[in-house]
Structure 1
Amino acid sequence: MSTNHIRALCDYIDASPTAFHAVDSSQALLKAHGAVRLYEGDSWKLDQGSLYFVVRDDAALIAFRTGTSAPAEAGFAIAGAHTDAPGLRARIEKSVESRGMERVAVEVYGGPIHSSWLDRPLSLAGRVVTRGVDGGFRVGLVNFARPMAQIPNLAIHFNRDMNKGVEFPVNTALLPLVAVRGASKTVVKDSSGYSWVLGALAVELGIPESDILSAELAFTDAARSFVYGNDNEILSAPRIDNLAGCHAILTAFCAARPAVHGQMAVLFDNEEIGSATSRGAASSLLSTIISRICIASRRNGTGMNEAMGSGTGTGTGGSGYNEAEDSYRALAKSFQVSVDGAQAWHPAYADKFDEDFAPVLNGGPAVKANANVRYATEAIGESMFRSWC
């Protein structure tokens, strides 16, 4: 991997503390390569070989390049990844205070390793909805991008069995410490409705607390990505699962040239909690966008090798044209790769791995397969993927 690519990956990860920011960073990369944003509520007009992207709810994105042939005839090459990562989501409605020490209530998102969140600097980032000057509301992103909190562990003097394994209850042991009243001259109002998060947001955004209508915030690792090793061969970064996959897909997508088939880079949200949301992989997002591309391509003649019909029929195309059939045909002729992190062989836990098949760091792409089809890999698809690598 080139030094420039590693630096670009680190910059992408550091600029993407949440799924919202990952999509924002992805939009910037796509726009730099001439991609045009489309909106699901608008009618689409597509040009052959051009780049487009669609964003759903600020946290999922699909970018595509139209092919030189109609989608129903050539299909799509699709690569997908996810923008979210396990962590701690802040509850903005209240603070938890005891003996002058103020903490923020949190909820666990996905399956983080609880102990890894202790004794490290944490920042805060996410999406905020504020009151607009016209009486409506505005949606924006916030990234404090500096240490704002820490979850202090218990001193070993109080638990000599600490290194034998400890459970960390979310509602007590995993609450980030954000302030100590006696340590600052700042006056904190004492009421049951007080929220440190709202106060911090108001200061950061330069608006009254009353103008903050809602927010989706997460505590994030404040440390930046870095490389080390004799030849800088090791990358350490937060959220590398799966921002590394997102960046790899986008980099390849932007560097690709138009082809007969369409090309799609798909970044879903909520993989860490099962994908069953409107912006997750189990949603209709991908199938809807494919159908829209097929309809727009037929309407606008994007597939230049395909003649447009002139008669009447089902849908918007020519004689006998069926919108659903075009998307079904396109899907049948498509190939999809799901890109995610693979757990590399760990020298301290070698007994947890299959010695003959464990992936190793810097060993190239790993292909995941499972007899019970926990992964979608099958013989034909694996053969095709290996031939490309």
Structure 2
Amino acid sequence: MARLQLLQWQPNPNLVKHHFISPSITFPNPFKSIINTRSRKLSSFAASHQFKQSCCKNESSGSIVGDLLDYLNESWTQFHATAEAKRQLLSAGFDLLDESEEWDLKPGGRYFFTRNMSSLVAFAVGEKYSPGNGFHVIAAHTDSPCLKLKPISASSKAGYQMVNVQTYGGGLWHTWFDRDLSVAGRVILRSVDGSFSHRLVKVTRPLLRVPTLAIHLDRTINQDGFKPNLETQLVPLLSTRFEDLQSESTNKDSISPSKAWHHPELLKVLSDELDCNVDDIITIELNVCDTQPSCLGGLNNEFIFSGRLDNLASSFCALRALVDSSSSPEDLSNEDTVRMVALFDNEEVGSNSIQGAGAPTIFQAIRRIISCLADDKVSEGVVERVIRQSFLVSADMAHGVHPNFMDKHEENHRPKLQKGLVIKHNANQRYATSGVTAFLFKEVAKVHNLPTQEFVVRNDMGCGSTIGPILATGVGIRTVDCGIAQLSMHSVREICGKEDIDFAYKHFKAFYETFSSIDRKLAVD
């Protein structure tokens, strides 16, 4: 059954904001929410009281931090992040589109579509838009480094049931040891009529743990470092019961693949969460997730402690900026462009997937939008002309300077937490920022009195990359790379500044509302 937990993180009630883990939500074909009634009744008063407090605080301060924490606590996986984004868009009045169906778009309309349940494109059309005008896009990604269950996950060692996992992305894997872990993701079920449906599942109670070896058995670890073998030593422990495991493994041909490949006890937990029979589970696509909720921290609650800040913090700020900048007809009445958000999957592993930024998703969406709004009267080179006038903000978390490792940063480019968005530069095109795109994006901030910072990696260190260069080359669109400064990037538990969330949101919202006027002031030879 779904479980709801109410957790308090600090003993002083004057310094703490209570945050609860939302109940496990499932989505039949493809996203309709089903919330366990019993858990909802048990916690309805506490949840309602907390929700009201959060709303009042956010409305009075103009901060979106409380809403971000709720989003992070709901979005354990890329699937849940996309589902929650979809829920918010529908609640805001956006219309859901199907990529496989014909579109009917109108000026002033707000629309979105999803792909693979893990990526999403949303857009709002200005009332004065005409084919040939540009698109203003903010792009981010929904995935984070994590552990994923292997297709055959069941194994046993020394009297324990273990779960075999794959490493996804470039995680700081040592941080996953000695954490209270569980599973969440997507499941395909067989219905009574023989059809199949997608469902999302999230088990909120701790199920798994990767225990470290006692110091008494590894006396040199503090001198030699912790260097676990990711295949043999990064294997989560599930339980001590495995009576039927060996007999099942010898008769796999006589039972369903899901039962043969995964521990029956784990499948029973999933079936309880989904309120279905174990035999209905056809296949699973699960991430291992840290169960500790996202929360505020620091002496003055100035930090956000959470998993998956990279890059759900950027995704949420971009999504919220689009929604709030087009929440009423007046917001789009004088707009002559299309405002867009694109949230992609698989950035952490290179973006080369149908739901990743390497796919032509944005280009296809732009072409279809133009075709719909042109009433089939598309003039020569209209798509190319639109792209020339468009602008993309690649939003991905940035490396804040670490107080204990300051020498890892170039001395004149040390972004700090609570000091605004970081503009990323790299002469070798690991970031897509140019002098012109940086100038334009910083002008948006200047008009609205918002701080910005600069980042360049040291010449003697490697530089990561983002979806910025991928989209800049794939679409041919002007691009700036930016991000919110954070510490502990790719750890199971990350940290960023609370003020930077609001700075990012305001910067993105200002980008949608004022970029056109700023862009027109830049003379082109």
Task: Give the TM-score normalised by the residue count of structure 1.
Answer: 0.90
User: Which of 133, 149, 173 is the equivalent residue of 1:74?
Assistant: 133
Q: What is residue 17 of structure 1 aligned with on the other side?
A: 76
Q: What is residue 286 of structure 1 aligned with on the other side?
A: 362
Structure-2 change in CA distance of 1:71 and 1:336 (3 Å): farther
Q: Partners in 2 of 1:3 and 1:187 — Cα distance?
A: 56
Using the TM superposition, give the Cα deviation of residue 218 of structure 1 relative to its aligned residue in structure 2, in angstroms.
0.3
Q: What is residue 307 of structure 2 aligned with on the other side?
A: 238
Q: Give yes or no for the alignment of 1:134 onto 2:190.
A: no
Structure-2 change in CA distance of 1:52 and 1:374 (3 Å): same
Q: What is residue 273 of structure 1 aligned with on the other side?
A: 349
Alignment deviations for residues 176-230 of structure 1 (CA, whole Å, 9 cap, x no partner): 1111129xxx977842136224343223323233221112100011111111223
User: Which of 138, 143, 149 is the equivalent residue of 1:84?
Assistant: 143
Q: Partners in 2 of 1:272 and 1:376 — Cα distance?
A: 17
Q: Partners in 2 of 1:180 and 1:169 — Cα distance?
A: 23
Q: Give yes or no for the alignment of 1:226 onto 2:285.
A: no
Amino acid at match of 1:76: F
Give the SS at the match of 1:104.
strand
Q: What is residue 281 of structure 2 aligned with on the other side?
A: 212
Q: Give yes or no for the alignment of 1:356 onto 2:380.
A: no
Q: What is residue 191 of structure 1 aligned with on the other side?
A: 248
Q: Partners in 1 of 2:246 and 2:155 — Cα distance?
A: 13
Identity %: 35
Amino acid at match of 1:7: G
Amino acid at match of 1:264: M
Give the SS at the match of 2:425.
coil
**Which ranges of structure 1 fall in alignment gaps of 5 or more residues?**
300-315
Q: What is residue 382 of structure 1 aligned with on the other side?
A: 438
Structure-2 change in CA distance of 1:361 and 1:8 (3 Å): same
Amino acid at match of 1:285: T
User: Which of 139, 148, 155 is the equivalent residue of 1:96?
Assistant: 155
User: Which of 18, 33, 38 is the equivalent residue of 2:92?
Assistant: 33
Amino acid at match of 2:344: F
Using the TM superposition, give the Cα deviation of residue 317 of structure 1 relative to its aligned residue in structure 2, in angstroms.
2.1
By relative contact order (CA 8 Å, sep 6+), the higher-ranking structure is 1
Q: Partners in 2 of 1:120 and 1:378 — Cα distance?
A: 41
Contact preservation (8 Å) 2:144, 2:311: yes
Give the SS at the match of 1:77.
strand
Contact preservation (8 Å) 2:191, 2:197: yes
Give the SS at the match of 2:132.
helix
Q: Partners in 2 of 1:379 and 1:98 — Cα distance?
A: 57
Quote the RMSD (CA, aligned, Å). Answer: 1.8
Q: Partners in 1 of 2:179 and 2:247 — Cα distance?
A: 28
Give the SS at the match of 1:385.
helix
Q: What is residue 382 of structure 2 aligned with on the other side?
A: 326
Q: Partners in 1 of 2:147 and 2:137 — Cα distance?
A: 31
Q: Partners in 2 of 1:216 and 1:283 — Cα distance?
A: 21
Using the TM superposition, give the Cα deviation of residue 3 of structure 1 relative to its aligned residue in structure 2, in angstroms.
7.5
Using the TM superposition, give the Cα deviation of residue 50 of structure 1 relative to its aligned residue in structure 2, in angstroms.
1.7
Structure-2 change in CA distance of 1:72 and 1:332 (3 Å): farther
Q: Partners in 2 of 1:198 and 1:364 — Cα distance?
A: 45
Q: What is residue 112 of structure 1 aligned with on the other side?
A: 171
- Tell me the matched-pair count: 366
Amino acid at match of 1:317: K
Q: What is residue 339 of structure 1 aligned with on the other side?
A: 395
User: Which of 139, 160, 181 is the equivalent residue of 2:241?
Assistant: 181
